[in-house]
Amino acid sequence: MSNINYQNTKQINKVSSTGLMLNFNVIKNFILNEFVYGGHLVSLASSTIALSAMLLLNINIRWEFLIIAYLGTYCIYGYDHYKGINIDSLNNSNRTNHLKKYYRFIPLVIIGYGVVFFSLIAYFGNITSIFFGGLLLLSSLFYTSKVKKMTTKIVGFKNIYTSFSVSLLIIFTAVYCSYPIGWLLFIIFAFLFLRLMIDTSFCDIKDMDTDKKLNLLTLPLYFGKQKFLSILHIINFLSFSILLIAVIMQLVPVYWLLLGIFTIYCFFYIQKAKNPEANFQSLSSIVVDGEYLLWPLLLFAGKFYMLAI
């Protein structure tokens, strides 16, 4: 009798452990998918871009601004994903399937993030930063609902508009921190713009079939995949050239060249994309956007080394 009870208890414990493991895996997968497909990876990248700008310009780090950058970016991408979920279902089923789990709550989340965004700027910022930040957020939201259609008429419009808008984060950082507008800002702006052109247009490769049906004149569709990847190599080299010329002209410190490491990083994932079996979903969602998360680490190391010597 005791053996039977022991075996029953053992089976119950085994079932309970299996159930806990399943629940843990479900929660873990949801968190990972939310980070990648819910817009948090891209939003965090905006924070690290702002942090990198502060390090490059020797501005005292304003931690609350990193949260502001995160919130604003989430509002923009959250709204874009919400409005385009039907189109996304054609080429990004993973993101669509994840967002559908809480699709009806997305507007509430965006509104909540937006309220906190403006509250933080109003409390910590100045009149100029409130105006600039609000204008930047609203113009990006307007792009999703109205301006995006211009890509059916102008080649690469989506890439240029998006890259330019996100690059304005550098100016927003300077305005918020009361840093004077000058050459250093425009050097960072130009470098970031070219990096983002690579980022946004590379991500269009996975959407080529859908974009063709929608008559969108994206750069990969216009030039063709292989020729376009060669063009990305040129843009990649140009982005490094900006830093190299600025250092040679002694406009910026030598440690700025550490960002040139991502020229090599970019070279490898562009080459990998030439493989017919390349997983563009992983490359664009993680590898490409993940570059910006590493910028501050290199810059912290470079500044520490410069101070040490």
The confidence score (pLDDT) of residue 132 equals 93
Number of domains in the chain: 1
Q: Is residue 280's pLDDT more than 80?
A: no
Question: Crossing angle for the helix pair 40-56 and 289-308, nearest 10 degrees?
Answer: 30
Is position 62 within any domain?
yes
Q: Provide the percentage of residues in the chain whose pLDDT is more than 90.
A: 43
The confidence score (pLDDT) of residue 21 equals 54
pTM of the model as a whole? 0.87
58: containing domain: 39-308
Highest mean pLDDT among 77-86, 114-123, 195-204, 266-275: 114-123
The confidence score (pLDDT) of residue 140 equals 82
Q: Is residue 20's pLDDT more than 70?
A: no
Q: What is the 3-state secondary structure (H, E, C) of 91-135?
A: HCHHHHHHHCCCHHHHHHHHHHHHHHHHHHHHHHCCHHHHHHHHH
* More reliable by pLDDT, 223 or 152: 223
The mean per-residue pLDDT over the stretch 243-247 comes to 94
The confidence score (pLDDT) of residue 6 equals 46
Is position 32 within any domain?
no
Is position 14 within any domain?
no
Q: How much is the CA Rg of the chain, to the nearest whole Å?
A: 22
Is position 17 within any domain?
no
What is the rounded CA–CA span in Å between residue 279 and residue 309? 43
Is position 19 within any domain?
no
The confidence score (pLDDT) of residue 210 equals 76
Is position 30 within any domain?
no
Contact 39, 74 (CB under 8 A): yes
Is position 74 within any domain?
yes
Amino acid at 59: I
pLDDT tier, 15 (very low <50, low <70, confident <90, very high otherwise): very low
The mean per-residue pLDDT over the stretch 273-284 comes to 73
Is position 5 within any domain?
no
pLDDT tier, 150 (very low <50, low <70, confident <90, very high otherwise): confident
Query: Is the Cα dihedral 189, 202, 140, 51 positive or negative?
Result: negative
The mean per-residue pLDDT over the stretch 70-90 comes to 81
The confidence score (pLDDT) of residue 88 equals 63
- CATH code, domain with 271: 1.10.600
The confidence score (pLDDT) of residue 156 equals 84
Q: What is the 3-state secondary structure (H, E, C) of the chain?
A: CHHHHHHHHHHHHHHHHHHHHHHHHHHHHHHHHHHHHCCHHHHHHHHHHHHHHHHHCCCCCCHHHHHHHHHHHHHHHHHHHHHCHHHHHHHCHHHHHHHCCCHHHHHHHHHHHHHHHHHHHHHHCCHHHHHHHHHHHHHHHHHHHCHHHHHHCCCCHHHHHHHHHHHHHHHHHHHHCCCCCCHHHHHHHHHHHHHHHHHHHHHCHHHHHHHHHCCCCCHHHHHCHHHHHHHHHHHHHHHHHHHHHHHHCCCCCHHHHHHHHHHHHHHHHHHHHCCCCCCHHHHHHHHHHHHHHHHHHHHHHHHHHHHHC
Tokens 């900006």 belong to: 242
